[in-house]
Chains A and B, each alone.
Chain A
Amino acid sequence: MIPIKQAKEKAEDQLMQIDGVEGVGISKERKKKAIIVYVSQTDTTISEKIPKEIEGHPVKIEVSGKFKAL
């Protein structure tokens, strides 16, 4: 299994192409890392385009809203 950072890098460009995806990152909850896909809103048409796992690493969808400069 390739490291999670590499897996994220590989998948990132494709994930960012999906309409409604605002970002891709890596998070850790209870000592378990996951690839995080930040989306603009709760919407099944976005989430169904996002794989459940990438190169064996879990993928989580997080609703962040759109990011703007503050």
Chain B
Amino acid sequence: MAKKNERKSDAVPDGEFEDIDLPTSLPETEEKDFDDIEEEFIAKGVEPDAKKLLAAKETLEARLILNVTEKAMAADSGTDLHGFENIAGVGISEKITNGRETGIPCVTVYVISKVPKDEIEAQALVPKEIQGIPVDVIESGEFRAFPFVGRYRPAPGGVSLGHYKITAGTIGCLVTKQKKLFILSNNHVLANENIAKPGDPVLQPGPYDGGKVPKDVIAKLSEFVPIKFGGAVNTVDCAIAQTSTRLVSPHNKCFGHIGNDPVACRLNMLVKKGGRTTQCTQGRITDCNATVNVGYDAGTAVFKDQIIVRSLTATPFSKGGDSGSLIMTRTRNVPVGLLFAGSDSHTIANKIGNVLSALHVKIVS
């Protein structure tokens, strides 16, 4: 295709979604020296203190979760006392005292509800400390397997979304222009790889996650940058769909407030994203100049000037359904990229600056 990227006109009738006021922008943030972070990241082994902490956590985890028999788990042991069924998880975090993080590492036990000591079975009691490490109890509620595919009103960034004819992708963030409010995601999420028409319904959750017209319509497709298949070069896979302040939240499901002033990609920058499938993950930018072939339902497309992110852990940074996720810096939640493709080991994202200028929009935070 020889045609240059062009934008489809906004066909959502005025008045259907209300105008909004532009938020004031945040000051530009300067991230740390990434070489230092990289060295820290590579050189850092597990410290002795961390080993002790891990051992303490594993002891408590075994006692409260792993070694609990089904019989003990069945809440009704002939008493009205709370038992192991009230334990939601065990982890390691900072000790919180009077609502503030103290900087002291501790073993954290997540419970479905906090109950008085005398209403808990002796064997399921959480100790004040374990192997010399303090223990904190946090009321987390029950952890559900896939909360990111649920229906949210208002819907935050990071949860399931999709054009009514696709499977599902992810809400990136909110953007604005001319006092209108839009959801930002990929073309292949909001515009079904160029096939959709402006005004088409966009569902939250996406159709694969049970979203239906008309009850789950959260936005209507406004514009997309067409994806050029074959040899022509693309820089973005993005689209916007107009929405309303009462349907969406500017926050991210994983990380809360996001910055509205994007930063440029830098090698070894530490980043994170919230997405429909793999939820909250962290990674490291390993490439800011990638040219890649990307396979779509409609064919292969070449993308230049892309970001590559690799996971910081054994689990992947992204999987199918995470498309549209906003990638932001790990420390300050500043937007860097728009996730759209990947393999089992590598994630590919458009540079957020290219996305915003292609659509002439600003991030709402």
Q: Please report A residues at the B interface, Cβ cutoff 8 Å.
A: 5, 8, 12, 16, 22-31, 33, 36, 38, 63-70
As a 0/1 sequence over residues 291 to 322 of chain B, the CB contacts with chain A under 8 angstroms (1 = contact) are 11111110000100010100000000011111
- Give, as a whole number of angstroms, the nearest-CB distance from A59 to chain B: 14
Within 8 A of A (CB), among B236-276: 237, 267-268
Does B362 belong to the interface (CB within 8 Å)? Answer: no
Whether the pair A69, B288 counts as a contact (CB closer than 8 A) is no
* B289/A67 in contact, CB under 8 A: no
**Given contact pairs A23-B291, A26-B287, A69-B294, A64 touches B346 in the complex (Cβ within 8 A):** yes
Q: Inside 8 A of A25's CB, which chain B residues have their CB? A: 287-292, 306, 308
> How far, in angstroms, from A29 to B38 measured CA to CA in the complex?
8
CB-nearest residue of chain A to B318: A70
Question: Which segment of B86-94, B143-151, B335-343 sits at the interface?
Answer: B335-343
Bound-state CA distance A29–B42 (Å) is 10
- Classify the interface of chain A: helix, strand, loop or mixed: strand
Closest to A28 in B: B267
Contacts of B308 in A (CB 8 A): 23, 25
* Cross-chain contact B341 with A68 (CB below 8 angstroms): yes
B193: nearest chain-A partner, CB-CB: A69
**Besides A25-B287, A38-B292, 5 other CB < 8 A contacts?**
A16-B291, A22-B293, A29-B38, A66-B293, A67-B348
Q: Do A70 and B340 touch (CB < 8 A)?
A: yes
- A69 near B346 with CB under 8 A, answer no
Task: Give the most central of B289, B306, B318, B340: most A CB within 10 Å.
Answer: B289
Central interface residue in B286, B323, B341, by most chain A CB within 10 Å: B286
Contacts of A38 in B (CB 8 A): 290, 292, 346
Q: Is the beta-carbon distance between A70 and B339 smaller than 8 angstroms?
A: yes
Assembled-state Cα–Cα distance A70/B340 (Å):
6
